[in-house]
């Protein structure tokens, strides 16, 4: 028992349900509090000297974009867990993370488009970073569509997992081909396909290029939305487990009814 | 090795003798390219400017149409299961089938492209580059496409789904294919790097495609 890893412990759905049920209210409450605090801090932060109050969109836009990418990484990790370790909850996790990740990606696209209107003068530009997020959204749609068009659930789970792993291998190439790549220390410089968007100003080798009064609310907001992501993911996983239990109970009932029918017929 | 060669020959013969398959893709390519000026207007300057993009995108769509053929008939009549039990590893079978698709679809489409370039008033100087980038880039279409073909074998509405799954994977090939052509016309220095990246993408898909497609086939044949 002691040597079991964290993931092995929750290979038992009953144990997972008990643990996640106890965790749910705390996680949900905490995410509401953190997001509320982050929005309060964000909206009382000084407006940007160039972008004015539109900078407030950032506190939703940037975390949504991060979570859209994290969601895909989570699906890929779960798919790996399904295909390699055959973990019983891996597919539940991969299946339920897809719509949530897609929703955050869509949120990043919509907020980005609303932010683009005052800044660039149009709702949509074929900018490198917007485009690569749009393609990420298409990859999510592919996962959801493939799963929903195969009736046999275990089969759909495994095939979707293969697709998710292929996607996660190709995603960096899509990102580089659209956004370009610049690593001066290695002498690598691939130009971006087309760009208007500012480059990432938080994760940079020379430190964040964003003022501390905006960075702190942004990071708090990112933590809050991450908690929200996991709250929804956990809830969706619980629902999925319950749905599968109901389904297997129904199937068992049908089997029993059929068995009693045959005995009646035999008599 | 002989088994591999036999399989390739069989697939090529099937594609040729079935007829229709190659011709349909070529006909679709011709029609899409011919419809665009009807929609965009016959402005030759505009057409010649967007010709490389149109030719590439129409080629992707034409190749997509025939992707589902890679495994479908062999899966339905059970010969794919025999191949899975045979001496060749399933990865190699998948690779050979994708190769046959490239030989019977990718190459003919790439060779037709300059002819369609005439319809779009494409710069004469770009013809050689156009065919070269397409020959180098189309293997990625067949090999990445074979993943989608394998994944959708048992799906409802397989054809439409296949397009949704596979088109995003073609983004790097499309971008570098067009970058290579336009840089050959404007900035010759940038041509070789783009072509090399395009080659790398095709070689990478040559590895990834058969592995993923074979994994998907195994899951469905258990």
Interface membership of B207 toward A (CB under 8 Å):
no
In this structure, chain A runs to a length of: 267
Give the whole-angstrom CA distance, residue A109 versus residue A124. 9
Parent domain of B154: 2-221
Are B93 and B214 in contact by the 8 Å Cβ rule? The answer is yes
Interchain proximity B215–A162, CB inside 8 Å: yes
CA distance B161 to chain A (A): 7
Residue range B71-81: mean pLDDT, rounded: 87
Q: Which residues contact A90 (CB under 8 A, 6 or more apart)?
A: A78, A79, A81, A82, A161
Give the whole-angstrom CA distance, residue A223 versus residue A57. 16
Give the whole-angstrom CA distance, residue A39 versus residue B82. 61
For A142, the closest of B157, B165, B215 (CB atoms) is B165
Interchain proximity B151–A152, CB inside 8 Å: no
Give domain status of residue A16, yes or no: no
Q: What is the tally of structural domains in chain B?
A: 1
Mutation target for A interface from B164, B177, B202, B211: give the one with most A CBs within 10 A: B164
Residue range B116-128: mean pLDDT, rounded: 85
Mutation target for B interface from A128, A129, A170: give the one with most B CBs within 10 A: A170
Interchain proximity B171–A178, CB inside 8 Å: yes
For A177, the closest of B156, B171, B204 (CB atoms) is B171
Q: What is the pLDDT, as a whole number, of residue A1?
A: 43
Mean pLDDT by 10-residue block, N- to C-terminus, for chain A (267 residues)? Answer: 62 84 91 91 76 80 93 94 88 94 95 85 81 92 93 91 94 84 69 61 63 82 93 94 92 89 73
Q: What is the pLDDT, as a whole number, of residue A3?
A: 52
Q: What is the pLDDT, as a whole number, of residue B94?
A: 94
Give the whole-angstrom CA distance, residue A184 versus residue A2. 47
Give domain status of residue A246, yes or no: no
Interface membership of B203 toward A (CB under 8 Å):
no
Instruction: Give the mean pLDDT of chain B.
Output: 88
Parent domain of A165: 23-238
Helix extents (H) in A83-152: 90-120, 128-148
Q: Which residues contact B93 (CB under 8 A, 6 or more apart)?
A: B7, B80, B83, B84, B86, B214
Give domain status of residue A248, yes or no: no
DSSP state of A11: T
Of all residues in chain B, what percent carry a pLDDT higher than 70? 100
Q: What is the pLDDT, as a whole number, of residue B184?
A: 79
Q: Which helix (H) or strand (E) holds A181?
A: strand A181-183
- Indicate the range of A56-60, A198-202, B101-105, B176-180 predicted with least confidence: A198-202
> Token pair for residue A15?
């144990």
Give domain status of residue A35, yes or no: yes
Interface of A with B in 66-95 (CB under 8 A): 83
> Token pair for residue A165?
């792993």
For A146, the closest of B151, B176, B179 (CB atoms) is B151
Sorting pLDDT into bands at 50, 70 and 90, what band is B85? Answer: confident
Give the whole-angstrom CA distance, residue B103 versus residue A55. 53
Are A160 and A79 in contact by the 8 Å Cβ rule? The answer is yes
Q: What is the pLDDT, as a whole number, of residue B155?
A: 85
Q: What is the tally of structural domains in chain A?
A: 1
By the 10 Å C-beta count (0-12 exposed, 13-18 middle, 19+ buried), B134 is classed as buried
Q: What is the pLDDT, as a whole number, of residue B217?
A: 93
Q: What is the pLDDT, as a whole number, of residue A188?
A: 66
For A131, which residue in chain B has the nearest alpha carbon? B171
Give domain status of residue A8, yes or no: no
Q: What is the 3-state secondary structure (H, E, C) of chain B?
A: CHHHHHHHHHHHHHHHHHCCHHHHHHHHHHHHHHHHHHHHCCCHHHHHHHHHHHHHHHHHHHHHHHHHHHCHHHHHCCHHHHHHHCCCCHHHHHHHHHHHHHHHHHHHHHHHHHHHHHHCCCCHHHHHHHHHHHHHHHHHHHHHHHHHHHHCCCCCCHHHHHHHHHHHHHHHHHHHHHHHHHHHHHCHHHHHHHHHHHHHHHHHHHHHHHHHHHHHHHHHHC
Torsion of CA B76, B78, B81, B82, to 10 degrees: -150
Give domain status of residue A17, yes or no: no
């Amino acid at each position: 028992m002691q040597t079991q890893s964290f993931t092995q412990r929750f290979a038992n759905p009953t144990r997972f349900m008990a643990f996640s049920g106890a965790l749910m209210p705390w996680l949900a409450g905490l995410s509401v509090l953190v997001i509320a605090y982050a929005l309060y801090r964000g909206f009382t932060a000084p407006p940007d000297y160039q972008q004015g109050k539109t900078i407030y969109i950032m506190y939703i836009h940037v975390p949504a974009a991060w979570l859209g990418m994290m969601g895909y990484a989570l699906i890929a990790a779960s798919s790996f867990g399904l295909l390699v370790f055959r973990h019983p909850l891996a597919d539940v996790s991969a299946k339920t993370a897809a719509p949530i990740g897609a929703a955050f990606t869509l949120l990043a696209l919509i907020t980005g488009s609303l932010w683009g209107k005052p800044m660039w003068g149009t709702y949509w530009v074929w900018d490198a970073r917007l485009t690569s997020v749009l393609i990420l959204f298409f990859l999510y749609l592919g996962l959801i569509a493939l799963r929903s068009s195969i009736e046999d659930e275990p089969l759909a789970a495994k095939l979707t997992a293969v697709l998710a792993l292929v996607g996660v291998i190709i995603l960096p190439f899509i990102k580089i081909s659209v956004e370009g790549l610049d690593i001066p220390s290695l002498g690598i410089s691939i130009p971006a396909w087309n760009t208007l968007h500012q480059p990432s100003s938080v994760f940079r080798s020379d430190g964040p290029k964003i003022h501390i009064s905006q960075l702190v609310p942004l990071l708090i907001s990112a933590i809050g939305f991450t908690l929200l992501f996991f709250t929804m993911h956990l809830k969706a996983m619980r629902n999925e487990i319950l749905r599968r239990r109901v389904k297997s109970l129904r199937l068992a009932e049908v089997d029993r009814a059929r068995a009693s029918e045959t005995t009646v017929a035999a008599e | 090795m002989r088994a591999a060669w036999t399989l390739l020959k069989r697939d090529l013969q099937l594609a040729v003798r079935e007829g229709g398959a190659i011709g349909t893709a070529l006909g679709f390519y011709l029609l899409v390219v011919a419809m665009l000026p009807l929609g965009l207007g016959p402005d030759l300057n505009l057409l010649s400017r967007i010709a490389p993009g149109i030719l590439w995108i129409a080629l992707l769509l034409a190749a997509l149409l025939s992707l589902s053929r890679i495994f479908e008939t062999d899966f339905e009549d059970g010969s794919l299961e025999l191949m899975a039990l045979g001496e060749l590893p399933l990865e190699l079978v998948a690779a050979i089938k994708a190769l046959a698709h490239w030989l019977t679809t990718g190459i003919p489409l790439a060779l037709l492209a300059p002819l369609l370039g005439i319809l779009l008033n494409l710069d004469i100087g770009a013809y050689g580059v156009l065919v070269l980038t397409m020959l180098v880039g189309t293997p990625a279409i067949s090999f990445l496409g074979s993943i989608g073909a394998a994944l959708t074998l048992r799906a409802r509405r397989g054809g439409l789904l296949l397009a949704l799954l596979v088109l995003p994977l073609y983004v790097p090939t499309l971008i570098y294919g067009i970058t290579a052509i336009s840089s050959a016309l404007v900035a010759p220095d940038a041509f070789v790097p783009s072509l090399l990246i395009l080659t790398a993408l095709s070689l990478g898909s040559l590895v990834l495609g058969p592995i993923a497609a074979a994994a998907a086939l195994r899951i469905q044949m258990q």
